[in-house]
Chains A and B, each alone.
Chain A
């Protein structure tokens, strides 16, 4: 008995030793063959101009939506980088040209996004968006991102150029809100007679003045013509531009704008309106939120920018999206990236609740600023939008455009010369 036990113990220990040494060898080989691999979660990189320091309410909404997206897509690491607006314009181009396109990036529509799309750097979203999500997008607001029937960007916000009027001052002088260009001219003249500056305008920021000229060009040319002018297919030197420039000159001649407008910034000039000293200001609808916090809060009425008699389309508005989120054609996870992109764009719209490019739930509109509610009524029947040129023209062309508009305000240039010089500057 003892002998047998001893032998079995001996055998068992031998077995144990063999197993142990064998195990050792195996793990050894495994570690040798193992190469260093990253086990981290897949990353989605986002590059926008929405930063903490950007005062635009769209920025705050986006950052909030981004935090929500991080929770909504926990399997992905979502990185976000930002840049200042002007830096952003250059940097995003370089990144794309170096094929380092961020997975999700901000882009303006029309001429800005077009070269990226045509060179194949931007993902066409229709194949990745489900019908429900796609259906929530307002089609009239997507014009800047449609190329060959394909959608390349998801905008969130809308803006539209509107005329803000001080109710008290209009009542004081027993004036009706202007509906046409001629009525606007008359209203301006009446105010001026009463030593009241009719329209707040700070031409130190040239783009404020350019808005008005731009708005008239939009009224006088249809969407197709606008697009062709920007791509250089149609000359800038055309009747629409000439007509728009002469309307600007008419207003300047009627002394519609703030005195010493060239020494005031847009914000400085706007102070007059905010303090109830100037009855009108023409601006993008983003001003609605700002006015809430001023002396004229609750005393402002919004009207459609009074159209000229020969307006091409009553339901075509000057304005449009505020830029959109696009997806890189070379992103690693297109399905998820598009999902994140759509989520961000829609959440921004819901958080804003007002002028947006998405059909959003009723309850999210509750907190909308009353002025914007009026704006929403104005654009209820909008069929299309024409974007402002300063965001769609090339950087150098934009500067030329702004400089030329300034010349108009100085009355240094005729409408015809304006059109000729604009064509020469933009399409050189």
Chain B
């Protein structure tokens, strides 16, 4: 995920949107498919069940009609009388035959009727060719006990339970069988077998399967198909093999299982008063095809929506990222020391604030930068001036003049002392160009300077020192004391007729070392003092003097409270410099 966090803002946003899009689309799609699936499934079930119900209703009503016919025959006075007396005489059989024929030919539902009495006689009427009973004795029929157990109610049998021998290769037919009870005694006196016309059955079963390729089967109690409208092609022909009764019975469950494997939906319903079952098979893709185009459209709409969302996300992101990008570009320039304000383009509250804030910052930075540059420039200037002041050609010429005069006078010891002081002075004050020296060294500079100046201005001043020995070890900016000493001699004492005293002090005062030059010379008026402090041109116009030194000290120590000047005209001047002990020199 590290790589992701280093991606650009807009790419991240697009990434988030993409993830969001994928999640929502997948949730929507699964929801859609789930709803669609159940809707289709519901439709299939409804189709299947409605059709099955339809078929069942029609089958039931066909059987009900057959049942009514069989009852009309069973309970007709003729049949009852003939069967009651069948054991005693036979001459009525002709009569019963004609009455049967009348009933049978009057109906399109009945294919044939066979009535058996308990004495081996058969009476029949048929709209089709006559079948021969397998036995004269109806009690031999496989279903006789079952019919007896139905106590006068009907039982349904496929092909009359094979009791009536028909032609080979004929199609299946349905037989309704019942024991005939004597109406007076309620005792069985015969059996009726009523065969239902197969055209009527086919009408029901073939009519139902016009929609969606629906297929319908009728299975008898042994799960053997009686009516099979399934023209499964080669692949599916294995499921249920047509009408051959000798075949292994197919269980309904097997058929249903197999059908489902083959993308068929199935449902079953029982025929009333029997164990016969109607099974419907519905090819699933037939119904599904109807909704397929709808699904494609939905997916396309979803995809389009997703695309629009992504494009929208990119555009919206751009609104936010563009100003940020500009800020970023500007910051890049800062890296390259280019402090330029950016053009403010209103975007939104936060971005606007960011832009103006950035611009303010850049302005501040520029100002600060200028200040720093100016300070540095001053520092360099003052340093040059110090250097210049150190070399001081006048001082040097004057000193050499003094030395020459002494030499002429033969005061060789004094010459030596002077030259030594001069050398020491220059060595210390130049000091390999270092800015920082110890206070001891600074005092030595002043000491040597005063030795030299004493030869020149013998009567002008008397120098004295008040030094705390321990302060010599502390460091200080170079030449912080000498200019004030020089100032005291040239501007305080030299102008006084009788000369005066000069006291140099170095005192330990807690966190500071106090360096002080005191003279009792002519002093300064407040105006003059102000001029000196403000750096007005000195009288000779070239003296770097007091102002430059104070400026140097302030610049270097970066504070403005270190130098204090007390001066009164006619009384004298005291200049004291506080050097902080703990200042970190570079």
Identify the A interface with B (CB < 8 A).
Answer: 3, 6, 9-10, 13, 16-17, 20-21, 23-24, 27-28, 31-32, 34-36, 93-94, 96-100, 115-116, 118-121, 330, 394
Query: B145-165 vs A: 1/0 string, CB under 8 Å?
Result: 000001111100000000000
Tell me if B186 is interfacial: C-beta within 8 Å of chain A: yes
Report yes or no: A98 in contact with B71, Cβ–Cβ below 8 A: yes
Report yes or no: B183 in contact with A36, Cβ–Cβ below 8 A: no
Report yes or no: B269 in contact with A97, Cβ–Cβ below 8 A: no
Report yes or no: B52 in contact with A36, Cβ–Cβ below 8 A: yes
Near A by CB (< 8 A), chain B positions 217-272 give 260, 265-270
Q: Which of B75, B154, B187 contacts A94 (CB 8 A)?
A: B75
Tell me if B409 is interfacial: C-beta within 8 Å of chain A: no
In angstroms, Cα B266 to Cα A113, docked, is: 48
Tell me if B169 is interfacial: C-beta within 8 Å of chain A: no
Interface size on B, residues (CB 8 A): 43
Residues of B within 8 A of A13 (CB): 23, 26-27
Closest B residue to A36 using CB positions = B269
Residues of A within 8 A of B152 (CB): 96-99
Task: Name the segment of B29-37, B462-470, B561-569 touching the other chain.
Answer: B29-37
Tell me if B19 is interfacial: C-beta within 8 Å of chain A: yes
Report yes or no: B186 in contact with A97, Cβ–Cβ below 8 A: yes
Report yes or no: B153 in contact with A98, Cβ–Cβ below 8 A: yes
In angstroms, Cα B20 to Cα A9, docked, is: 10
Residues of B within 8 A of A9 (CB): 23
Report yes or no: B184 in contact with A394, Cβ–Cβ below 8 A: yes
Query: B62-84 vs A: 1/0 string, CB under 8 Å?
Result: 00000100010011000000000
Q: Which of A20, A27, A28, A97 contacts B30 (CB 8 A)?
A: A20
Residues of A within 8 A of B184 (CB): 93, 115, 394
In angstroms, Cα B226 to Cα A15, docked, is: 48
Q: List 21 A-B contacts (CB under 8 A).
A: A6-B19, A9-B23, A28-B37, A28-B41, A31-B42, A31-B45, A32-B260, A32-B265, A32-B266, A35-B267, A35-B269, A36-B49, A36-B56, A36-B267, A97-B152, A97-B186, A99-B150, A99-B151, A99-B152, A115-B184, A119-B151
Report yes or no: A100 in contact with B183, Cβ–Cβ below 8 A: no
A3-B1, A35-B267 known; 12 new pairs, CB 8 Å cut-off, are A13-B26, A32-B45, A35-B268, A36-B52, A36-B56, A94-B75, A97-B180, A97-B183, A115-B185, A118-B186, A119-B185, A394-B184
In angstroms, Cα B187 to Cα A417, docked, is: 34
Q: Which of B1, B42, B178 contacts A98 (CB 8 A)?
A: B178
Tell me if B112 is interfacial: C-beta within 8 Å of chain A: no
Report yes or no: B52 in contact with A27, Cβ–Cβ below 8 A: no
Residues of B within 8 A of A118 (CB): 185-186
Report yes or no: B186 in contact with A21, Cβ–Cβ below 8 A: no
Report yes or no: A10 in contact with B150, Cβ–Cβ below 8 A: no
Residues of A within 8 A of B265 (CB): 32
Known: A32-B267, A98-B71, A120-B151. A21 touches B34 (CB 8 A): yes
Report yes or no: A23 in contact with B34, Cβ–Cβ below 8 A: yes
In angstroms, Cα B150 to Cα A100, docked, is: 10
Within the complex, what minimum Cβ distance (angstroms) separates A111 from chain B? 10
Residues of A within 8 A of B185 (CB): 115, 118-119
Report yes or no: B38 in contact with A94, Cβ–Cβ below 8 A: no
Tell me if B175 is interfacial: C-beta within 8 Å of chain A: no
- B26, B151, B184, B260 pick with most chain A CB within 10 angstroms: B151
Identify the B interface with A (CB < 8 A).
Answer: 1, 19, 23, 26-27, 30-31, 33-34, 37-38, 41-42, 45, 49, 52-53, 56, 67, 71, 74-75, 150-154, 178, 180-187, 260, 265-270
Q: Which of B19, B34, B45, B183 contacts A20 (CB 8 A)?
A: B34
Known: A35-B267, A36-B49, A121-B186. A97 touches B37 (CB 8 A): no
Closest 7 CB pairs of A and B: A119-B186, A99-B153, A97-B181, A99-B152, A17-B30, A99-B151, A115-B186
Within the complex, what minimum Cβ distance (angstroms) separates A105 from chain B? 14
Closest A residue to B41 using CB positions = A28
Report yes or no: A94 in contact with B1, Cβ–Cβ below 8 A: no
Within the complex, what minimum Cβ distance (angstroms) separates B24 from chain A? 9
In angstroms, Cα B35 to Cα A23, docked, is: 11
Residues of A within 8 A of B45 (CB): 31-32, 34
Within the complex, what minimum Cβ distance (angstroms) separates B22 from chain A? 9
Residues of A within 8 A of B31 (CB): 20
In angstroms, Cα B153 to Cα A24, docked, is: 45
In angstroms, Cα B180 to Cα A9, docked, is: 76
Residues of A within 8 A of B52 (CB): 36
Report yes or no: B38 in contact with A27, Cβ–Cβ below 8 A: yes
Within the complex, what minimum Cβ distance (angstroms) separates A85 from chain B? 17
In angstroms, Cα B32 to Cα A21, docked, is: 10
Residues of A within 8 A of B27 (CB): 13, 16-17
Within the complex, what minimum Cβ distance (angstroms) separates B540 from chain A? 75
Q: Which of B26, B38, B56 contacts A28 (CB 8 A)?
A: B38
Residues of A within 8 A of B269 (CB): 35-36
In angstroms, Cα B169 to Cα A28, docked, is: 41
Closest B residue to A28 using CB positions = B41
Residues of B within 8 A of A100 (CB): 153
Within the complex, what minimum Cβ distance (angstroms) separates B279 from chain A? 10
In angstroms, Cα B260 to Cα A406, docked, is: 77
Closest B residue to A24 using CB positions = B34
Residues of B within 8 A of A32 (CB): 45, 260, 265-267
Report yes or no: A24 in contact with B181, Cβ–Cβ below 8 A: no
Report yes or no: A36 in contact with B30, Cβ–Cβ below 8 A: no
In angstroms, Cα B1 to Cα A24, docked, is: 36
Residues of B within 8 A of A330 (CB): 151
Within the complex, what minimum Cβ distance (angstroms) separates B483 from chain A? 65
Closest A residue to B180 using CB positions = A97
Report yes or no: B41 in contact with A97, Cβ–Cβ below 8 A: no
Closest B residue to A121 using CB positions = B186
Residues of B within 8 A of A23 (CB): 34
Within the complex, what minimum Cβ distance (angstroms) separates B263 from chain A? 12
In angstroms, Cα B269 to Cα A21, docked, is: 29
In angstroms, Cα B265 to Cα A326, docked, is: 47
Within the complex, what minimum Cβ distance (angstroms) separates A14 from chain B? 8
Closest A residue to B266 using CB positions = A32
- A20, A99, A120, A121 pick with most chain B CB within 10 angstroms: A99
In angstroms, Cα B33 to Cα A23, docked, is: 12
Closest A residue to B252 using CB positions = A35
Q: Which of B154, B180, B183, B266 contacts A93 (CB 8 A)?
A: B183
Within the complex, what minimum Cβ distance (angstroms) separates B184 from chain A? 6
Known: A6-B19, A17-B27, A32-B260. A98 touches B266 (CB 8 A): no
- A21, A23, A97, A99 pick with most chain B CB within 10 angstroms: A97
Within the complex, what minimum Cβ distance (angstroms) separates A229 from chain B? 17
Residues of A within 8 A of B268 (CB): 35
Report yes or no: A94 in contact with B183, Cβ–Cβ below 8 A: yes
Residues of A within 8 A of B260 (CB): 32
Within the complex, what minimum Cβ distance (angstroms) separates B421 from chain A? 77
Closest A residue to B186 using CB positions = A119
Closest A residue to B31 using CB positions = A20
Residues of B within 8 A of A93 (CB): 75, 183-184
Closest B residue to A17 using CB positions = B30
Report yes or no: A17 in contact with B186, Cβ–Cβ below 8 A: no
Within the complex, what minimum Cβ distance (angstroms) separates B2 from chain A? 10
Residues of B within 8 A of A35 (CB): 267-270
Within the complex, what minimum Cβ distance (angstroms) separates A418 from chain B? 25
In angstroms, Cα B151 to Cα A121, docked, is: 9
Q: Which of B53, B153, B187, B270 contacts A119 (CB 8 A)?
A: B187
Residues of A within 8 A of B38 (CB): 24, 27-28
Q: Which of A20, A98, A115 contacts B74 (CB 8 A)?
A: A98
Q: Which of B23, B181, B182 contacts A10 (CB 8 A)?
A: B23
Report yes or no: A17 in contact with B151, Cβ–Cβ below 8 A: no
Within the complex, what minimum Cβ distance (angstroms) separates A104 from chain B? 18
Closest B residue to A7 using CB positions = B1
Closest B residue to A329 using CB positions = B151
Within the complex, what minimum Cβ distance (angstroms) separates B38 from chain A? 6
Within the complex, what minimum Cβ distance (angstroms) separates B100 from chain A? 18
Within the complex, what minimum Cβ distance (angstroms) separates B49 from chain A? 6
